[in-house]
Structures are given as C-alpha cells and as structure tokens.
Amino acid sequence: MDINNILDWVKRHKFATFLIILLLLFVFTIFRPFPTITPERSYEETYDSYEFGMGAPLGGERPFSFDLHLFDQEISRDTYDTESVSHELEIREARLKVESDDAEDDFEVLQDITRERDGYIETSKKTETSTRLIYTATVRVPVEYFEDFIEDSESAFEIEDFEVNNYRIDVQRQIDEIDVLNRAIQDYESLRDETLELESGEERINLLARLTSEMQSIARQRMALERDLGGKEKKADLATINFTFEETLRAELWPDDLGDLFHERIHEAIDDIALAGVSVLTNSLVLLVKVIEYIVYAIVIVVPVRFAWIIGSKLVNKNNKNKGGDES
C-alpha cells in the first residue's frame, strides 16, 4: 500500500481516522513510562550538585535533603516549641423571662435600652396563639455594660425568671496551633522558593505541586481555627442576653370596640354599593359611546356610497334613453 492509497483512504474515512488518532494518543499516554518519586528519594539523589542549607520544614536544626516523606509528617504542637501559658476568655451570658402586660411595648422598650448601652438585637421572633403572645430576642451588648444593662432591664420589666452564667474558656491551644500553622507555611514557602531555583523538569513540577497542595491544606486548617477563635473572642467582647416576653391574651366575648367596628363595616358596605353603581353607570356610558361611534362610522361610509349609487343609476338611465332615441 503506497502513500497515495493511504491518503485517499484517510480522505474517505475522516471520522474513522480521527478515532484511530485518539486511540493511539490514549494508549501512548497510559503506557509511556513516567519517572516516579518514592518517599525515600531525595532531591540530593536527583540533583547531586544542589544542597539545601535551611532547616527542616517541620522543625529541626541540621541541614537536610528534601525527602518527600516530610509531607507525610503530621503537623502538631510537638513539631515546634510552644510556650506553656494560659490565655482565657471570660464569657458572660444571661437569660431573662418577663411576664408582660403588653409584649409589643416591652419589646420596643428593650430596643431602646439596648441602643443606650451600645448593643444590638441579634435575633428576634414573634409567636402568637389564641391565648399567648410571645416575643423572644437575643441581645448583644459590650461586656463592660453588661451589669448596667441587667440593672436597666430589672427596672424596666417585671422579671419572672432570671439566670446569669459567667464562665471562662482557655483558647491558648488554638493560639498555639495557629502559630504552628503559620510557621509551617513560612517553612514551606522557603522550600518552594528553593525548589523554584532547581533545573526545570517533570520532577520539579511534581514537587512544586505537592508543596502547593500542602500549603493550601495548612491554610484551610488555619482559616478554620481563626474563624472559631474569632467567634469566641466576639463572644467574650459582647455579652449575650436572651429575653422572653410572654403576654396572656384576654378572651373577649364582646369586643370593646364593637360599635366602631359595626360603623366601619356599614361604611365599607355603602362604599362597595356606591362603587358597584358607579361601575355599572360607567360601563353603560362606555357602551353608549361605542354605539354612537359605530353609527357615525356607518353614516360616514353608507351616505357617500348611497349618494354615489343614486347618481350612477341616473347616469345609466339617461345613457340608455339616449341610445334608444338614436336607434329610432
């Protein structure tokens, strides 16, 4: 088979040729030999002339060769030296239940008290049944105004149940872990910079990819710890007070405003009747205008047509008579 026959076959079987090329590329990609990197293999084995002069990424004092088994080490507080100190946050919380004569008014008073103490209402909810009206609210105020806020609440409301919780939480472990992760990221960044100085090659690319993956994993751990620590610090800076206002609704067989309600309903009925009458009248007027409009259209069209018909008929008759006279 010569080259011309092959080219002719390719031209006549383009789709089959495309599939064969894809199959060959797939087989070549799967079965071609790639250099492998084992945990025991180091940069010094690959690049004999390159020396690493910095400390291990997860601690240590001696110069080292960049062994990939370092990726498998678990970062922990024991990896780096951390100070054994305590850092505690004081959390202040309270829960107040108020028996209210008017829950809506009391809730507005709570908003005023909260603003006066530089706080804010974080969440609120209103629940109403046939017998009770309940407002619940979570208030956050600066911890330095906590006691003043409680005193203001005791003066403003009839408190049925009252509970205060003060406790401490130790966050030193989280601070140490964040510090460990920060130092680990710095070490990995130094390793990445040294890796970038190596001769370009597939092995260099793979190692840079693994370094980047490790740094991203550490960064995600640090972000989660910082978010949790930030929430605890906010909880320490702002005291949390949970309010419940309960109002017992009075069952009324005869409403106090029955007369006003009846008067209002009568006026609404009269307004509805008047509106219905106006609607009927306006609809009739619209229909009448439409009829007049159609009559005008008919006059404008029919009268000229009728006039033209009469004139045409007379002209035809006159013409017929003239023809008859000529024939006689």
- Token readout for 145 is 């105004």
Rg of the Cα trace of the chain?
Answer: 46
Question: Among 57-71, 110-124, 260-274, which range has the highest average pLDDT?
Answer: 110-124
**What average pLDDT does the segment 43-70 reach?**
36
Predicted confidence band of residue 39 (pLDDT cuts 50, 70, 90): very low
For the chain, percent of residues with pLDDT exceeding 70: 73
DSSP 161-212: EEEEEEEEEE-HHHHHHHHHHHHHHHHHHHHHHHHHTSPPSHHHHHHHHHHH
Query: Per residue in 150-190, pLDDT tens?
Result: 999 999 999 999 999 998 989 998 899 999 999 999 988 88
Contact 88, 233 (CB under 8 A): no
Compute the mean pLDDT over every residue in the chain, rounded to the nearest whole number.
Answer: 76
How far apart, in whole angstroms, are the C-alpha atoms of residue 118 and residue 124?
Answer: 18
- Dihedral sign of CA atoms 9, 13, 14, 15 in order: negative
Cα–Cα distance, 193 to 182 (Å, whole number): 17
pLDDT-derived band at 142 (thresholds 50, 70, 90) equals: very high
Band of the pLDDT at 21, cuts 50, 70, 90? confident
pLDDT score recorded for residue 59: 39
Strand partners, 121: 139
| H or E element, residue 151 | helix 146-156
What pLDDT was estimated at residue 221?
A: 92
In which band, very low, low, confident or very high, does the pLDDT at 3 lie, cut at 50, 70 and 90? low
Q: Structural domain boundaries of the chain?
A: 1-32, 82-251, 252-306
The most confident of 9-18, 38-47, 55-64, 285-294, by mean pLDDT: 285-294
Q: Is the pLDDT of residue 115 over 60?
A: yes
Which residue from 201, 222, 203 is spatially nearest to 211, judged by alpha carbons?
203
pLDDT of residue 96: 95
Give me the mean pLDDT over the 79-100 stretch: 79
pLDDT, greater one: 175 or 52: 175
22-31, 201-210, 224-233, 241-250: range with lowest mean pLDDT: 22-31
- Residue with the bigger pLDDT between 35 and 210: it is 210
Closest CA to 39 of 73, 69, 64, 65: 69
Residue 17: pLDDT over 80: no
Per-residue pLDDT band for 78 (boundaries 50, 70, 90) equals: low
What average pLDDT does this structure show over 185-204? 86
pLDDT tens per residue, range 272-306: 777 777 777 787 777 877 878 778 777 777 777 77
Confidence of residue 67 (pLDDT cuts 50, 70, 90): very low
> From CA 81, how far away is CA 83, in angstroms rounded?
7
Q: Higher model confidence: residue 270 or residue 323?
A: 270
Average pLDDT, integer, range 96-114: 93
Q: Is the pLDDT of residue 205 over 80?
A: yes
Residues 6+ apart with CB under 8 A from 219: 181, 185
Indicate the pTM of the whole model.
Answer: 0.47
- Element at 28 (helix H, strand E): helix 14-31
Tokens 């780096």 belong to 80
> To which residue do tokens 């990445």 refer?
192
- What local confidence, expressed as pLDDT, does residue 28 receive? 61
Amino acid present at 159: I
User: pLDDT tier at 43 (50, 70, 90 boundaries)?
Assistant: very low
d(CA 208, CA 217): 14
